[in-house]
Amino acid sequence: MNRKTVVAVLAAALLAGSLFAQGAEHQTSWGFEGAYYPPHNQGWDSGGWVSPGYSPIPEPDTFVPLGLDEGRELGNTWGSVKAQGWLAHKITLPVLQGPGPLTAGNNLSLNFRGELSPVTAGVSARAILTPVAFLNFEAGAYFGTGWAALGFNGLGLNRDGSGIPDQGAFNGLVSKVWGSGTFQFDLAAVVPGDWNHVVTLATVKAEYRTYSRAETEESWMFQGDSGENFNGMRYYTTLVLAYQMPLKVNLAGIMVETNWNGGDIKNLSPMGQGGWGSDFLSVTISPLCNIRLSDKASVVILAGFARGKKYTDETIFYNWFQNREYESAFWYFDQLAFSFSYTL
């Protein structure tokens, strides 16, 4: 979806919000998200599965630095963490509602959110239209920035060949615009009953993202990621199969997420041409559960298992990802994460 189209849809939704504000329902919530990422050896000297490992593997004596790239140890002694707080407001408007079960709950939802971590800050707005019970469409935009603090770096270019992103305070702006469609189904809608809630969800999303300081085909890092971001399109899918029940643990299921580069970035350094894997399909499989703490508070807990890029023995110790050569894929324990939310 074209950026201008997404922004136009979002603006139209916000305008609709002002027109229907009298019948709108408002909801404010806040929360905290955190994750722990265990260290691992990047698939070095292993099969298709890599367990967490807390003993770093240093560069071998045969390693030869390349330009500013002095190499890296594989893994570390403790892993890494993510933490951020957020505040959100949701406005729900009755739109296109009808008398039947498929249209009775139709609405337009406007969602605004601000988030803050030790080294990043961002704001987002989303408009979600539900024209029928089992389908919704979303358009959204995000703007964020970052800085360096406490030994962490939130935002920076990753282009000089060293593999170490540059640092600075509020050093540019990251923007994202997206459009998505979601199919959702609950068995209880067909077979009513408190114990009949088998829930399925499938989302396809197209996102265009940019970092204001990056030129075409220049990589950058944001929110402590691997620094393999580029200005351009990225695509996402999310599949969820879950069981909802009238208990304290009121939902349990599994989520499968995929994402990959689009456009020219996908063809920048393909796996089949001895590149670092610009066309690699990232996959994460996450068992999850939701715990209802009260009528207003809940927490989601998930464990993520991800598909990563294993590089050749000759290039795996290079610190800058563009100096490496893709060999195969491997699976590893990616994260243990939680998200707490409270509705005011």
Rounded Cα gap, residues 112 and 87, in angstroms: 8
pLDDT of residue 344: 95
Q: Where are the beta strands (DSSP E) in 117-218?
A: 120-132, 135-146, 148-149, 152-153, 155-157, 174-186, 197-211
Which range is least confidently modeled, 32-46, 56-70, 91-105, 285-299?
91-105
Kind plus residue range of the DSSP H or E element containing 9: helix 3-19
Of 174, 291, 259, the C-alpha closest to 222 is 174
Predicted confidence (pLDDT) per residue in 224-252, tens digit: 899 999 999 999 999 999 999 999 999 99
Strands 249-261 and 282-292 come out as: antiparallel
Q: Bigger pLDDT: 105 or 149?
A: 149
Three-state DSSP at 327 gives strand
Three-state secondary structure readout of 287-318? EEEEEECCCCEEEEEEEEEEEEEEECCCCCCC
Cα distances from 279 to residues 19, 59, 224, 239, 276, in angstroms, run 44, 27, 22, 21, 9
Closest CA relative to residue 307, chosen from 48, 92, 72: 48
φ/ψ of residue 275, rounded to 5: -95, -175
Residue 103 pLDDT class (50, 70, 90 cuts): confident
Residue in the structure block whose two tokens are 């060999």: 327
Q: Which residue has the higher pLDDT, 102 or 231?
A: 231
Give residue 5's pLDDT.
52
Query: How far apart (Å, rounded) are the C-alpha atoms in residues 7 and 129?
Result: 15
Q: Domain extents for the chain? A: 3-343
- As a whole-number percent, the residues of the chain with pLDDT over 70 amount to 93
**Any idea which residue has 């935009």 for tokens?**
141
Question: Is the confidence at residue 17, as pLDDT, over 60?
Answer: no
What's the rounded Cα separation, in Å, for the pair 133 and 102?
Answer: 5
Whole-prediction pTM: 0.91
Q: What is the residue whose two structure tokens read 């367990």?
A: 51
The pair of three-digit structure tokens given for residue 195, joined into one six-digit string: 């114990």
- The reported pLDDT for the residue numbered 107 is 87
Q: How far apart are CA 204 and CA 30, in angstroms?
A: 27
Rounded Cα gap, residues 288 and 257, in angstroms: 13
The answer to whether 44 and 58 are in contact (CB under 8 A) is no
**Could you read off the pLDDT of 180-216 as tens digits, one per residue?**
999 999 999 889 999 999 999 999 999 999 999 999 9
Residue 179 has pLDDT above 70, yes or no: yes
- Backbone phi, psi, residue 265, to 5°: -65, -40
* Mean pLDDT for all residues in the chain: 92
Name the architecture of domain 3-343: Beta Barrel (2.40)
What confidence tier does 255 reach under pLDDT thresholds 50, 70, 90? very high
CA dist 336 and 252 (Å) reads: 16
Instruction: Indicate whether 257 pLDDT > 90.
Output: yes
What confidence tens digit (pLDDT) does each residue in 49-96 have? 999 999 999 999 999 999 999 999 999 999 999 999 999 999 999 887
The CA distance from 313 to 44, in Å, is 8
Confidence grade of residue 24 (pLDDT, cut at 50, 70, 90): confident
